[in-house]
Chain A
Amino acid sequence: MHRDPNLYDFWPYRDRPKITWPGNKKVAFWVAPNIEFYELDPPTNPSRKPWGRPHPDIVPYSARDWGNRVGHWRLMEVMDEFKVRGSISLSVAMLDHHPEIIRACVEREWEFFSHGIYNTRYSYNMTEAQERAVLEDSIKSVMDATGQRIRGYLAPALTHTERTLDLLAEYGFWYSCDLFQDDQPQPLKVKGDNRLISMPYSLEVNDVITYGVYNQSPRAYADALMRHFDQLLEEGAETGTVMCIPLHAYLVGHPHRIGPFREALRYITSHRDDVWVTTAKEIAEFYLAHHYDQTLTDIARRGNARPGTGFNPIPQEGV
């Protein structure tokens, strides 16, 4: 147990070197539909119960099933309307359960990244070999089904071990969506010579949080998305920002929610002169090629680079 994960260095949000997105765009905008499978009767991880009620907990189970039968198609239609390709946070077992959804995403050239095998199988208490098996399953299964080499990861149900990010780097992932410390990508301090970045993926404008935790109404959520965007656009003139909207069709796809969301997406994508409407993988590729070293140099220039990598002990000052 460590008091500080030491996964990145302090890098204050003032006077940062400029990030310029392709075409001089100010905001890199991506949408992350979480296409998830929650099992009716999953095994229990000692650290977390899969469902609130005894199995079968059909209220939340059937709601998620609704997402895959009804909500997904409604959300996809809205994204098509504004020519937004999704970067899918994929429960890898969805490749087997709902190939019709996978086919529709492949046809649209959406990006896939891994969100674990099921959102009801948590990383807590996994051995290194077990965690490796999950990553290898993710890479191979998506490659076999879609021809895509996945480059991103969002741990299932946001459950991690201390070694998750090191393993991602070792397996050639480019980005992790697991950290929420910034509005710009930045290097992660992982073992070895591989480069792994933290990709902004907001929980604060994630529909699970806004509807389920903050109890916002659909119209209030849409309004928050537009204000979130306006601010990142203004700041993006100084140095390029990233806006991600993480979504769950089983929530945003409901008929009382999709209309206001559509208006927010219409508003954001109407700024295409200033907005790079893209995928996480394309943002990561561009950042790694053009701004990764620039960030490290700036952190070093400020004297903020600390030794060590994630979850390795940090030498105490003055010791």
Chain B
Amino acid sequence: MSGLPDSYFTYARRQAGPDHGHYPASPIRERAPVVLPGGASLALWVVVPLEFFPLNPSGQPFKAPGAMQTPYPDLRHYTTRDYGNRVGAYRLLKLFARLGLRATFAVQGAVAERYPGLIRDVLFDGHDICAHGWDTDSLHHSTLAEAVENSYITRTLDAIEAASGQRVTGWLSPARAEGFATPARLAAQGIRWFADWAHDELPTRFQTSAGELISMPLSNELDDWQILITYTRPEHEWLAQVTDAADWLAAEAVRLNSPRVLTLTVRPYVSGLPYRIKALGNSLQTVLNRPGTSVLSPDDLLRAVSV
């Protein structure tokens, strides 16, 4: 081995701030104070992905979390995921109605096309929707041809519009995967905010070559898949972690005189199971019972939060 090429020791972006041009460095403690509607100190934002997992995924460039795992035809995983859209989502809707909680449902184009009734039910119950890509096998990545990536975006927005009558302006990528050009292509197609980058705890401005997006905070470490499935923690520990997070954020909001946002992703096929729904309900109820807590929509956050 004659060593590594000189290029391995060239640090082209060893400069102030991150090694990309999307946003500058900004320690959260130095951010301008934020005022939320109603003077809330803690805002809760719940995101519910509505996903379609094809029975024959290409797995390119990688297999999305939750995708088929056993040899074709993997009816086991197909149906457990479909259970989420048939049963789990309705269990969540019932829980949210009881709690008076307004959530954001991140809708994949394939779900809007196949189950427009589900989208109408979500909207009828007063929830927000945003786009969540075409399906879990239509991942965004850097080697995707521009025309293909643009068609994923257009087709998704069109399918959601057909089902809901809304041209949505929010986006969450399938598996939170992006190519280098994805943010600009989203911006070019009218997306105003996206939630792929969990780089902050407040909305931040995100520059692209096609204009500005707002990057919405959405915790990856606290979501139900991460804790219950990846870390294989039991429900009571997930509940403890959510309430510990709310405790810490609420105390920090008071101490620093600036509200904090608690973000939570819950999947219908994970949290919507009979043995998990009560744990989720207890957890959300505990957070909502806290004085100074508000449930905010993305529009509320975008309007209220100084970015």
Contact = CB atoms under 8 A, between A and B. Distances in A.
Interface in B233-271: 233, 237, 240-242, 244-249, 252, 260, 262
Interface string A108-150: 0000000001100100011101100110000000000000000
B245 to A, nearest CB: 4
Contacts of B70: none
Given A117-B11, A255-B248, A258-B248, A55 B142 contact: yes
Given A125-B3, A133-B9, A215 B232 contact: yes
A86 to B, nearest CB: 16
Given A54-B141, A70-B28, A65 B18 contact: yes
Contacts of B220: 59, 63
Contacts of B232: 215
A128 B29 CA distance: 42
A254 interface: yes
A211 B141 CA distance: 28
A254 B245 contact: yes
B16 interface: yes
Interface string A24-66: 0000000000000101110101000000111110110011011
B interface secondary structure, majority: loop
A92 B246 CA distance: 34
Contact of A118 (B11, B29, B179, B252): B11
A54 B61 CA distance: 7
B28 A39 contact: no
Interface in B173-201: 176-180, 196-201
B248 A58 contact: no
A98 B143 CA distance: 31
A70 B261 CA distance: 13
A272 interface: no
A69 B141 CA distance: 26
B221 interface: yes
A304 interface: no
Nearest to B201: A70
- Residue of A62, A68, A258 with most partner-chain B CB within 10 A: A62
B240 A58 contact: no
A121 B240 CA distance: 37
Nearest to B183: A58
Given A62-B197, A69-B26, A215-B232, A39 B13 contact: yes
B22 to A, nearest CB: 9
Contact of B18 (A97, A127, A215): A97
A interface secondary structure, majority: helix
A11 interface: no
Contacts of B244: 218-219, 255-257, 259-260
Given A59-B198, A258-B248, A127 B3 contact: yes
B142 A69 contact: no
Contact of B198 (A56, A62, A217, A255): A62
A313 interface: no
B156 interface: no
A70 B200 contact: yes
Interface string B1-25: 1111101110101111111100001
B253 to A, nearest CB: 11
Given A69-B199, A256-B222, A217 B241 contact: yes
A282 interface: no
B231 interface: yes
A96 interface: yes
Interface in B189-218: 196-201
B20 A40 contact: yes
A218 B27 CA distance: 24
Interface in A244-278: 251, 254-260
A127 to B, nearest CB: 3
Contacts of B219: 254
Nearest to A98: B25
B11 to A, nearest CB: 6
A41 B11 CA distance: 11
B115 interface: no
A53 B231 contact: no
Given A69-B200, A97-B14, A215-B233, A43 B7 contact: yes
A215 B231 contact: yes
A161 B178 CA distance: 34
Interface of B: 1-5, 7-9, 11, 13-20, 25-30, 61-62, 141-143, 176-180, 196-201, 219-222, 230-233, 237, 240-242, 244-249, 252, 260, 262
8 contacts: A56-B180, A58-B177, A63-B220, A70-B201, A97-B14, A100-B27, A217-B241, A255-B252
Interface of A: 37, 39-41, 43, 45, 52-56, 58-59, 62-63, 65-66, 68-70, 72-74, 93, 96-101, 117-118, 121, 125-127, 129-130, 133-134, 211, 215, 217-220, 251, 254-260
A-B complex: 4 closest residue pairs judged by Cβ atoms: A127-B3, A256-B245, A255-B245, A62-B199
